[in-house]
Structure 1
Amino acid sequence: MTKPKVLISDKMDPNAAKIFEERGCDVDVITGETPEELKARIGEYDGLAIRSSTKVTADILSAATNLKVIGRAGIGVDNVDIPAASSQGVVVMNTPFGNSITTAEHAIAMMMALARQIPAANARTQAGEWPKSDFMGVEVTGKTFGLIGAGNIGTIAASRAQGLKMKVIAYDPFLTEERAVELGVEKVDLDTLLSRADFVSLHTPLTDQTRNILNRERLENAKPGIRIINCARGGLVDEAALKDLLESGHIAGAAFDVFETEPAKENPLFGAPGFICTPHLGASTTEAQVNVALQVAEQMSDYLVNGGVTNALNVPSLSAEEAPKLRPYMKLAESLGSLVGQLAHGNLTKISIEREGAAAELSGKPIEAAVLAGFMSRYSDSVNMVNAPYLAKERGLDVRSVRHEREGAYNTLLRVTVGTSTGDRSVAGTLFGPEAPRLVEIFGVGIEADLAGDMLYIVNEDAPGFIGRIGTLLGEKGINIGTFHLGRRDAGDEAVLLLSVDQPIGQDVIDAACKLEGVKTVKGLEF
């Protein structure tokens, strides 16, 4: 078996390459290339490990014909075109926990430096002055720390602020009341936070919803004398508005580690009163650099070798431990999606995935993605679990996932139903044993069959002699039958025949079968 091949295109701890090798990957470390050089090289790799220097654009991805995963050693993925990667079926991962402590500590350090005006005091003292009376600071003890974003880094920053005897209030749309109590913070809306906080620290990703979350209007209405710390992402604060309000004295100070445009060689905030900054150092500690490099290598190799998906941004996460248990279900799900996609006709507008019995206890997202991967192959040859949900969304497909706690005829069951112009059509399958996917129902007709290779699907009138006629026809066409599966509604009613064959079914075979007495539908299938 060929080893997955990984390119490390940015500088990172050398132990990352060792982890890739130890876990069964071939790895090349080639840093500092131009976009053109990377584009020329990327086609031979299954994985790309990056930090912030490499820009993975749609143009580069267009040449990444074998790429399966991009791993960002760090949190921010602004340098990766995620929609382009998703449409191409490439998993994008980050390492959100490797530098969490480091970034949170930097935010607290910036707050302390801001409170005591340490950078300016240091510069003037080293310049030979003794400006003791010019630097009257403020204590943080007893002050209110306003947290915008209560994710992993934000909660660490909150705990550090609590250790400094500060009161912590938090704004985060995803923060529940129960979680707020657990963290010991008060959940508030954004306007309330800005009206009460003495210090505000941002810890949220940059999205369309969070861009300029601290705009001019909110900054003008904030508590007079407020101080703002941003060690998250540039673009969360209106920099021009902040400059004006620092100069007016409405905002007492600001400390930024990140800027809207980086490298920030020029910025309207530079030189503003009460402003201090660092050059994106939030993750710049020895410990953090090692942690994120090792973590990205572990995650990527788990995916390439074992199928585990961890900290992915565009596909459901699936741990290396979960993958073996879910793999047979995902194979079944993909086969059922493919089957209903090949058989259903017309403009399909909705698809429902139902899990019953043991399947209901499993994570639904990977199964849903597998069904869509099989189903969307009716529209495109280059479909996988990553891009299938995006292709389905582009086509306006209404996707629903349903979990049933009821007990049915089977210990575990998956059912896939699509809506057509003539009504709903569904197929169902189960597992025979731990890893043997099996079809058990097709369009309301009970039938047991493996779904693999080339197959022939026939709907006919249930009448004597038909099996002999179809067998004779296939023999005359040189088609060898592997397995033979029958199902019917009632005696003399409509019957379903599903054959696995050793050769692809050509149009001439389908045309000849359609002419047999009693035949209603003939379709060649591929799995």
Structure 2
Amino acid sequence: MPKVLISDKMDPRAAAIFRERGVEVDEITGKTPDELKAIIGQYDGLAIRSSTKVTKDILDHATNLKVIGRAGIGVDNVDIPAASSKGVIVMNTPFGNSITTAEHAIALMFALARQLPEANAQTQQGLWPKNGFMGVEVTGKTLGLIGAGNIGSIVASRALGLKMKVVAFDPFLTPERAVEMGVEKADLDTLLAKADFITLHTPLTDQTRNILSKENLAKTKKGVRIINCARGGLIDEAALKEALDSGHVAGAALDVFVTEPAKESPLFGTPNFICTPHLGASTDEAQVNVALQVAEQLSDYLLDGGITNALNVPSLSAEEAPKLKPYMALAEELGSLVGQLEGDRIQSVSVEVEGHAAELNQKPITAAVLAGLMRVYSDTVNMVNAPFLAKERGLDVREVRHDREGDYQTLVRVTVKTEGGDKSVAGTLFGNAQARLVELFGIKVEADLAGHMLYIVNQDAPGFIGRLGSTLGEANVNIGTFHLGRRNQGGEAVLLLSVDGVVNETVLNDICKLAGVKTVKLLRFA
């Protein structure tokens, strides 16, 4: 039974879902990093919110960890590169609090437009400042949307319902999607010049850090109002303070800050500035939704292999996983075969699928090929860290999908580029379940890849198989299966033999001495 740790406070229904699905779960919250390191090695899964910091040091102690689930969107508290190198999947729940965060942005926009916090404070002081606050309507105004993903698109729909015009900047927004959303797609400078209100809904990356810099704030329309419920660091806070003081920016509302908890900020006390303590996801509905989603996602992976909302590996639904499992097993065996035979000579990898395999999600098949190929370098490699290991080694990876019909109902081909030219292996499934090698470096051969195997390239000649059998028999090496292929009569032949146990160097040297032998290699498959 898989075991999961819930290390942050979460709706109790999350733990109930784990238990109902057959996953053992412990709810242990508030642990220090050292306390967490002491227990994390017991668990296959870790469910967190924002309090737990999953650092490389924690991951080094997580010897059994397979998956981390963040109940929420942001994963700033998880070292994703370190998790990937350890082969740990990182998931989030990007849709559970989308509506809540979008509504908070709209609420802050109204608060800015009508100066609600200041009006409330003075009214409660008995001042009755009826003539002191002159707001603006949002109807007919232009909302500049920086980031048009899930949350941004919800904000856009709400703004359109308020009869606003929406201009969106997002490098990933297609013209077709912009039309579907009812927004104007624009570059950043155009948005800054047009917008009466600007709201940010983009992750914090090297490209988006300080996207509202001092320079870009100067490009905005005078009197603009700015809202940020996404990530601290998207706005230069010192520059925003200057723009508010000068009156160029009429108001700003932030739910997020560069440093959190924000105990101090240059913006605190600035007129026309509103702030909330990262409340974007703080509704009862959102807290329940993300807790339930993270429990379902972790259970799906640990029990069925389903991967949903993963940040460092291709997604694979619980429905897809059983269908893809035999194809992934075949792909991993092919990758392992070519990795053991070509090793450091490999410069690039191409994964081709045709027939039934071409109708499936190819990303997990490619990841399985890389997992097999990279296993020659590390015994802890898996589908998560294999693509990163391949990238570190400078391997270019291509995917090719063929609609054509071939000799087999389904086929997976792995071709590697080496200094000696392209080398290709191909395999199929018998009965939609049993993996079988059908081609090895241009030679037709049918073989099961399992256990200890001998790979032998020799000159096809009468008597060779007998001499090989005698050599192995004299060394007390038993042959399990025997697979033979050749380019043509009297030409180059390939033998794949499964043997009962490891063949030592002495026996390998004796085989090398046999007449006509060109290559001998011991292979190992799971």
Short-chain TM bin: over 0.9
Q: Is the 8 A contact 1:345 1:420 kept in 2?
A: no
User: What is the match of residue 452 of structure 1?
Assistant: 450
SS of residue in 2 equivalent to 1:154: helix
Matched, 1:480 2:482: no
Q: How does 1:383-462 map to 2 (within 5 A)?
A: 383-462=381-460
Structure 1 gap ranges (5+): none
Q: Is the 8 A contact 2:343 2:376 kept in 1?
A: no
1:428-485, Cα deviation, whole Å (9 max, x unpaired): 1111111111100001100011111111111111112222222222222222222111
Identify which of 118, 121, 127 aligns with 2:119. Answer: 121
Q: Is the 8 A contact 1:169 1:187 kept in 2?
A: yes
User: What is the match of residue 3 of structure 2?
Assistant: 5
Q: How does 1:100-499 map to 2 (within 5 A)?
A: 100-344=98-342, 346-499=344-497
Counterpart Cα distance in 1 of 2:44 and 2:53: 17
Identify which of 45, 61, 64 aligns with 2:62. Answer: 64
Q: Give the TM-score normalised by the residue count of structure 2.
A: 0.98
- State the 1:299 CA deviation: 0.4
Q: Which amino acid aligns with 2:355?
A: G
Q: Which amino acid aligns with 2:134?
A: M
1:282-341, Cα deviation, whole Å (9 max, x unpaired): 000000000000000100111111001100000000000011111111111111010000
- State the 1:416 CA deviation: 0.7
1:80-119, Cα deviation, whole Å (9 max, x unpaired): 0000000110000000000000000010001011111111
Relative to structure 1, the CA distance from residue 136 to residue 301 in structure 2 (aligned partners, 3 Å threshold; closer, same or farther) is same
Counterpart Cα distance in 2 of 1:510 and 1:417: 27
Q: Is the 8 A contact 1:354 1:416 kept in 2?
A: yes
Identify which of 29, 37, 40 aligns with 2:38. Answer: 40
User: What is the match of residue 523 of structure 1?
Assistant: 521
1:117-174, Cα deviation, whole Å (9 max, x unpaired): 1111111111121111111111111111111111111111111111111111111100
- State the 1:366 CA deviation: 1.0
Counterpart Cα distance in 2 of 1:51 and 1:417: 42
Counterpart Cα distance in 2 of 1:393 and 1:14: 41
Identity of aligned residues (%): 76
Counterpart Cα distance in 1 of 2:470 and 2:212: 76
Q: Which moved more, 1:203-212 or 1:345-354?
A: 345-354
Q: Is the 8 A contact 2:436 2:447 kept in 1?
A: yes
Counterpart Cα distance in 2 of 1:230 and 1:435: 51
- State the 1:346 CA deviation: 4.5
SS of residue in 2 equivalent to 1:276: strand
Q: Which amino acid aligns with 2:524?
A: E
Q: Which amino acid aligns with 2:85?
A: S
Matched, 1:55 2:49: no
User: What is the match of residue 22 of structure 2?
Assistant: 24
- State the 1:345 CA deviation: 5.0
- State the 1:28 CA deviation: 0.6
Q: Is the 8 A contact 1:162 1:168 kept in 2?
A: yes
Counterpart Cα distance in 2 of 1:263 and 1:510: 65
Counterpart Cα distance in 2 of 1:126 and 1:473: 98
* Runs (4+) off by over 6 Å: none
Counterpart Cα distance in 2 of 1:247 and 1:338: 63
- How many pairs does the alignment contain? 525
Counterpart Cα distance in 1 of 2:271 and 2:380: 55
C-alpha RMSD of matched pairs (Å): 1.0
1:199-218, Cα deviation, whole Å (9 max, x unpaired): 11101011111111111100
